[in-house]
A and B are shown apart, each in its own frame.
Chain A
Amino acid sequence: MASTSATITLASADMLSDSLSFTTTAALTTAGTATGLSNTSGLARKTTVSTDQYTLYLADEYTADAANKIYLKNTESTATLFFTVTIDDEPMGRLYAGDWAFFPWSATNGTKAAFSVTFAATWADGDTAVFDGVTITLGATETTAAMTDLVVAAKYPNFTVVETSASVATFTAKDSNDLSLIEEGTTSDDYVITTGGNGTGTVARTVAPVASANDIKITPSTTASHTLEHMLFHE
């Protein structure tokens, strides 16, 4: 187990009649334990050159409701260059030049879309199944079981796929923020099957997607070069 500490000091000699000065040190531990956090994204920097919104951390990729911690720092020195930090679409605040923040992160996961494809009948040489930019073209007549094996063996950029029975492949989105609903039925426009014989593939939705509302995003204030330093400590 790693031992990591984070110490904050706030000090002001003239904001109040009495001086403000306090220091707090926190040991970064896993939720509800004395065990140190052992995972980190590493200290990183991101330079932006547009006012687009950038996603720093996808909640789906981390343990939800854990004792995750995020460090952010605007490394710029020009006062007008700031980043707006948002949790999903909720503005948290602005990091002006030199500002830093350190806060916990729930990483509340969304729900990833899922659907199944049930293959039936006989698949002929030249039949195709097209989904997520991947085209499977048969080089010979295949059974439904063999067709399912071919579909499951393929690599899809935005979905994972498993064989849930000899003739059924179930796809799950890699990201809950992909909210597209795959059209259902035997003639789905999303999962497109072209057959010369009598093979069919019936699409059925198994899980409707719900977006994560917890991704950490930043929006630079201008198109000038802005650099943000960031680090995630997580379970």
Chain B
Amino acid sequence: MAVTTASLTITSSDLVGDALSLTTTNTLKKANKIEGLDQTTGMNVAYLTSVASIDLFPALVEGSLAFTGKSSWVYICNKSTDETEFALITIGGINIGRLYGGDYLWMPWSMKESANADNHHGDIELKPSVATGMFFDWICINEGTEHHAVDLAIS
């Protein structure tokens, strides 16, 4: 069983009157279990030169029984050093937020079919703000990976 930990530290000496120093660590486990997550897409490094939205995890079959109630975690980082360049991250067509240069996110992912009754099926999509080239990293750590069958028709 794999042991993977995710830690976060948020610090600020001047955001509020008292110093902010928040640290938290958790071990990534399968849903309702003490077993660690044991599957991953691996770290993707991409240089995107279009402002078109892309599906970050097309190899995973969203909304399938294999993922019902499962635990999945997503990390995305905008590696741009230009603070004005951002990427809009959406889930199922709904805006999550903008990752500006240097920003990252760490979020759970249900992969449920979209509640909006469209065809997004909980997809996580990334849309760069410029077409001049931006680097991104992303990884999904999960359980129950189910890959597309060959030539699977996706609605």
Interface set of B (CB-CB < 8 Å, partner A):
2-16, 20, 22, 24, 26-27, 29, 31-34, 36-38, 40, 42-43, 69, 71-73, 75, 77, 83-84, 86, 88-89, 91-100, 102-110, 112, 114-116, 122, 139, 141
Q: Decide: A94 and B10 in contact? CB cutoff 8 A.
A: no
Chain A: which residue is nearest B22 at the CB level? A43
- Neighbouring A residues of B16 by C-beta, 8 Å: 40, 42
Task: Please name the 3 residue pairs, one residue from A and one from B, whose CB atoms are nearest each other, closest first.
Answer: A93-B108, A104-B97, A12-B4
Q: Give CA–CA (A86, B109) in the complex, Å.
A: 10
Interface set of A (CB-CB < 8 Å, partner B):
2-16, 20, 22, 24, 26-27, 29, 31-34, 36-38, 40, 42-43, 65-69, 71, 73, 79-80, 82, 84-96, 98-108, 213-214, 231, 233
Listed by A's residue number, 24 A-B pairs whose Cβ atoms lie within 8 Å are A4-B15, A7-B8, A7-B9, A8-B6, A8-B75, A12-B4, A15-B38, A16-B42, A22-B43, A38-B15, A43-B20, A82-B31, A87-B91, A90-B115, A90-B122, A91-B122, A92-B91, A94-B31, A96-B29, A103-B105, A104-B96, A104-B97, A106-B88, A214-B94
In the assembled complex, how far is the CB of residue B72 from the closest CB belonging to chain A, in whole angstroms? 7
In the assembled complex, how far is the CB of residue B16 from the closest CB belonging to chain A, in whole angstroms? 7
Main secondary structure of the interface of A (DSSP, over half): strand
Q: Decide: B7 and A8 in contact? CB cutoff 8 A.
A: yes
Q: Give CA–CA (A90, B86) in the complex, Å.
A: 22
Q: Given A42-B16, A79-B33, A87-B94, A93–B83 Cβ distance below 8 Å?
A: no
Q: Give CA–CA (A68, B99) in the complex, Å.
A: 10
- Neighbouring A residues of B115 by C-beta, 8 Å: 86, 89-91
In the assembled complex, how far is the CB of residue A234 from the closest CB belonging to chain B, in whole angstroms? 11
Q: Decide: A93 and B107 in contact? CB cutoff 8 A.
A: yes
Q: Decide: A10 and B8 in contact? CB cutoff 8 A.
A: no
- Neighbouring A residues of B89 by C-beta, 8 Å: 103-104
Q: Decide: B100 and A31 in contact? CB cutoff 8 A.
A: yes
Q: Give CA–CA (A67, B102) in the complex, Å.
A: 12
Among B3, B7, B107, the residue within 8 A (CB) of A103 is B107
